[in-house]
Amino acid sequence: MPDRKRITLKDIAKELGISVSTASRALNSYAGISDETVKMVKEFAEKHNYVPNTMAVNFRKNKTMTIGMVVPELVHYFFSSVISGAIKEAKKHHYSILVSQTDELVKNEIMACRTMLSSSVDGLLISISNETGNTDHLQEFLDEGRPVVQFDKVSDQLSSPKVIVDDFQGAYSAVQHLIEQGYRKIAHINGLQHVKNSQERLRGYSIALGDHEMEGSSAWVVHCQEISEAEGFDFAKQLMTSSNQPDAIFCITDLVAMGAMKYLKQAKISIPKEVGVIGFSNWDMANFVSPGLSSVNQHAYQMGEKAVELLVEAIKNNEVGKDQIFETKTSLVVRESTQRLG
């Protein structure tokens, strides 16, 4: 084994004929050390390629400079973007990010949190799984004084800062856009009824319809279980073959919209002429399908940055962070799938 030994503070002290404490202070630029000594120590350290032993420092300071991040799925445009933003912001504050995923299973989520807790992350970023009800596994962090910041899928049960998408506003503007484009019978493929994001998007949809005195119909609102492409396909079919066909579909997710578009294309229903389709998330994919899929951009990257910012602040202040909600505004990305006019 080529285990080239690193030199330690003790080595430096011995070589330079000073004490370990002086060496430590010199390297960390403490007040009350002569410039001469500082210079000498730093030069020696540099020359001998001294690297402090992080494990010892962590141990001593009871900090790891590591943030845990738990997401339902990693192979996902939205979440990988959030992680990407989080990593960037974390780097700015000299934190590293430990990533784990739960596959939307609460059992895995609990395990992941336990691992994070025992690997002594300084704080936790989490987007809970669809299954998650009880949040005891998160409370454990707070009990130990380690802050948690929730993002995207959050639980009100846990008192912590939360970074979420303004789902209401996003849905509202999507539907308003459809109305402006002349669509009059707007359906909505929604998600799981108990998930907050779904509820908010549904609310945005309903209020937008109401505000514009549009026709509504309970038959035009359907709920996915899996939020899958297949469901998008099936529900689009169901809607379009019903007695009261809509002329536009607002989908809970781009993936669902993909499925809906697939059905419409297959049924030779023209998009956007006969039926408009709009999604939510603004996946990279939305650019590549034809017609291009209009969508609601969630600014995932910025959410990641914001979440880390809040977490780091809490860590710095040695508190667990206020129970406060930060809503990030969405923005409409109009592509061909809803451009009926001009």
Nearer to a second copy, 34 or 317 (CB): 317
Contact 308, 326 (CB under 8 A): no
Q: Is 319 an interacting residue with respect to a second copy (CB under 8 A)?
A: yes
Which does residue 284 bind out of DNA, a second copy, none, counting CB within 5 to 8 angstroms by kind? Answer: a second copy
Nearer to DNA, 41 or 116 (CB): 41
Closest distance of CB 47 from a second copy, Å: 17
Single out the segment in contact with a second copy by CB under 8 A; choices: 56-64, 173-181, 244-252, 271-279.
Answer: 56-64
Compare residues 147 and 204 and give the one whose CB is closer to a second copy: 147
User: Is position 267 an interface residue for a second copy (rule: CB under 8 A)?
Assistant: no
The entry of a second copy, DNA, none that residue 100 binds, CB within 5 to 8 Å by partner kind:
a second copy
Q: Which of 138, 187, 209, 258 binds a second copy (CB under 8 A)?
A: 258
The binder of a second copy chosen from 178, 260, 289, 315 (CB under 8 A):
289
CB of 192 to a second copy, least distance (A): 22
Note the residues at the interface with a second copy (CB under 8 A). Answer: 1-4, 6, 51-56, 58-59, 62, 64-66, 74-77, 80-81, 83-84, 87, 91, 96-101, 115-120, 142-145, 229, 258, 262, 265, 284-285, 288-290, 318-320
